Amino acid sequence: MFRFRRFQTRLLVLFLALFTLSQAIALGLTSWAGRAAAQDEIHTALEVAAGVFGSLLEEREARLLQAAVLLADDFAFKSAYATRDAATIESMLHNHGTRIGADAMYLLSLDSEVIASTLSGAREGMDFMHPELLQAATEDPYGEAGAIVLIGDQPYQLVVVPLLIPMHDAWVVVGFRLGAGFTSHFRELTQSEISILSADADRWRVLSTSLPEAAARALPAVLAGEAWRDGAAFNLSLAGETQVSLLQEMGVDDHRRLLVGMHRSLDVAMAPYRRLQQVLLVLLLGGLVLTALGATWVSRQVSKPVRQLRSGAERIEQGDYQARVAIRQADELGALGEAFNRMARGLEERDRVRGLLGKVVSPAIAEELLARDIELGGEEREATVLFSDIVGFTPLAETVPPARLLDLLNRYLTRISADIEAEGGVIDKYIGDAVMALFGAPLTQPDHPERAVRAAMAMVSSVQAMNRETPEHMATLRLGAGINSGTVVAGNMGSRSRLNYTVVGDAVNLASRLEGLTRHYRVDILVSDATRRQCPSIVFRELDRVQVKGRQGVVGIHEPLGTRGRLDSHLHQRLVLFGEGLAHYRQQRWDEAETTFQELAGVEPNGPASVYLARIRAFREQAPPADWDAVTRIAGK
């Protein structure tokens, strides 16, 4: 067995071997994991793209059916049809098609003959080339049908509805072409390429695609030689690039299968991993050199202090307890030399002080911890949680110099902390500009919901006063606070070596969500139903019913306006107007709701009324579903 004579050589070989092995393993794992991750990412993206494609077709079919039904029910169109003047009918088809953006419009007789059409190739008296679509509509109880078909060599999405005068007398056919506009829109939505193809035996044709020209030309020949399964992703080599593709059947037309293919470039997805491999290779080469130099230096630094420690230990062994070592390195060996000299003097006291400072953040919490054994665990209790932060703090931090920002933040936290403590609240933690405060824990307070709301209103007043005192060249602050009451688990949480008294639970999460919603509803404070019901002395206005992300239940949200019996006429007017507008809105009386919220917006121009005005405009453009329950579902945090 080979034995090293020098410690320095042993370290050098060991470091070089370990470094080379670790880098080689990292390179291999990076290559394997990168390709696997890229494949998984692309497969997921293609499955999502396939779902988007289906949704787009359903949406377009619904639009086509709506447009066709509107045309079929149009009195002027029925009158034009009664004249049997093909030119007049064709002109109306063109006009209607232009309005809805349709690419194909037909009026067909019950015998499937073309009466009029917007397509140049479909002349009066010709047989409609897709009678199976009319047959499907005949079998439908509503006389409606839709399909993707070929007109010439172009794919179209067509729908057919009956023309009733008053009995079924003709067919109205409306369609969109699945061409370059559709593929471009799909690529923008999904960041995936799309191809619409036809297949006859082993002969493939690209009908429409968003792929680059070279890849589109190569696609038919490559697909002809591939074995694929419907809905399963597979790899294709197109124009020198690997594309992960997913094919789905859309039906058969004119004896040709119609398919849609979604594609994503594996080479593009792998590019970040290849760059990482190149960086690792450079690091490997540079690291080998640095490791050799470092091992040489380390061995020298280690051997000398080790000899000193050995000499000192031998003197201690002989009874010379005055022995000292002089190791002036600022590393582990230096620390070992200091420990040898000090013999752990002062460590116990320092650890005890540091532990207490790390565990106690509030006098109330300190009393709670000292009253019982300090251990992990908690108990259920009713409490109110308040979250607050500065709205727009991130852009504020980018514009205000650091020293001035720190001064501003310290003055802000000093004021609002005093407001919280004045109502008996306990500050659980500061998170930058954010504050989490507890009411009812660890100290029991029967009226903790009212205390929390009063504290939040006092915090808003303090921030407003602070803004008035702040010079014009300084930033103006705005507070956002969320409050919720409920059952929480309160106690010491963390690890055995470091713990923190706090509360957790669904009630805490909801309070945090409400704080984030203050920006959306443009108010300073948002309070949940659970808190509002326990605050009889405070007047609130209901703002909405929401379902926040991660919770199944619906919660009402409210804004505190002031103490009951002390509201001035302006606040009372805002309360009444908002209540009337909200009632009209929930009953879908858009005109009355809009009038009321516009009047309210004149009183508070940047308040929650503007949020509802925007919703009303959106609902005018697209009506809510039939089962609309006037609940706002919040997708983000």
| Residue from 398, 415, 411 nearest 462 by CA | 415
Q: Which residues pair with 429 in a beta bridge?
A: 436
User: Residue 30 — very low, low, confident or very high, per pLDDT cuts 50/70/90?
Assistant: confident
Rounded to whole angstroms, how far apart are CA atoms 149 and 131?
11
The secondary structure of residue 625, as a DSSP letter, is P
CB burial readout 9-37, b (16+ within 10 A) else e: eebbeebeeebeeebeeeeeebbeebeee
What are 494's two structure tokens?
Answer: 């963390």
Read off the pTM.
Answer: 0.46
Biggest CA–CA distance in the chain, Å, is 125
CA 93, CA 634: separation in Å to the nearest integer? 42
The confidence score (pLDDT) of residue 476 equals 75
Interhelix angle 608-621/506-521, nearest 10 degrees: 80
The per-residue pLDDT for 346 is 35
What's the CA gap between 78 and 89, in Å, rounded?
A: 9
Distance CA 398, CA 6 (A): 56
- Nearest-10 crossing angle of helices 86-100, 75-83: 150
Which tokens is 236 given? 């294709």
> pLDDT tens across 119-134, in order?
888 888 898 888 888 8
Lowest mean pLDDT among 278-292, 324-338, 432-446: 324-338
Q: Which residues contact 603 (CB under 8 A, 6 or more apart)?
A: 570, 573, 574, 577
Q: Residue 615: its pLDDT value, please? A: 93
CB 132 within 8 A of CB 146: no
Beta strand spans in 239-280 (E): 241-253, 256-265
Q: What is the pLDDT, as a whole number, of residue 227?
A: 83
Cis ω before 272 (30° cut-off from 0): no
User: 């005055």: which residue's tokens?
Assistant: 322
List every span in the chain annotated with CATH 3.30.450.20: 74-178
pLDDT at residue 358 tops 50: no
- Cβ atoms of 160 and 137 closer than 8 Å: yes
* Separation between Cα atoms, residue 32 and residue 22, nearest integer Å: 15
Q: Which residues pair with 246 in a beta bridge?
A: 233, 262
CA–CA dist 276, 31 (Å, integer): 9
Percentage of residues in the chain having pLDDT higher than 90 = 29
Q: How far apart are the C-alpha atoms of 126 and 122, rounded to whole Å?
A: 7
Give CA–CA dist 101/176, Å, rounded: 8
Tokens at 201, concatenated? 């035996």
Distance CA 460, CA 526 (A): 12
Least confident of 326-340, 551-565, 608-622: 326-340
- The class level of CATH for 375-567 reads alpha beta
Q: In the prediction, which pLDDT does 509 show? A: 92
More confident residue, 346 or 464: 464
The more confidently predicted of residues 585 and 356 is 585
Helix pair angle (402-422, 448-469), 10° resolution: 150
Selection from 234, 209, 109 nearest residue 160 by Cα: 109
d(CA 393, CA 187): 36
**Predicted local confidence at residue 353, as pLDDT:** 39
Domain ranges in the chain with CATH number 3.30.70.1230: 375-567
pLDDT tens by residue, 372-424: 544 455 788 899 999 999 887 877 777 778 888 888 888 889 999 999 999 99
Rounded Cα–Cα distance for residues 264 and 191 (Å):
8
Measured CA to CA, the distance from residue 475 to residue 549 in angstroms comes to: 32
Under 8 Å CB-to-CB from 75, ≥6 apart: which residues?
none
Res 309: pLDDT: 63
Tokens encoding 610: 């503007």
pLDDT tier, 449 (very low <50, low <70, confident <90, very high otherwise): very high
- Lowest-confidence range among 549-553, 575-579, 586-590? 549-553
Helix (H, G, I), strand (E, B) or coil at 521: helix
DSSP assigned state of 282: H
- Helix axis angle for 86-100 and 7-73, nearest 10°, is 150
pLDDT of 355 above 80: no
The single-letter DSSP state of residue 473 is T
CATH (residue range 74-178): 3.30.450.20
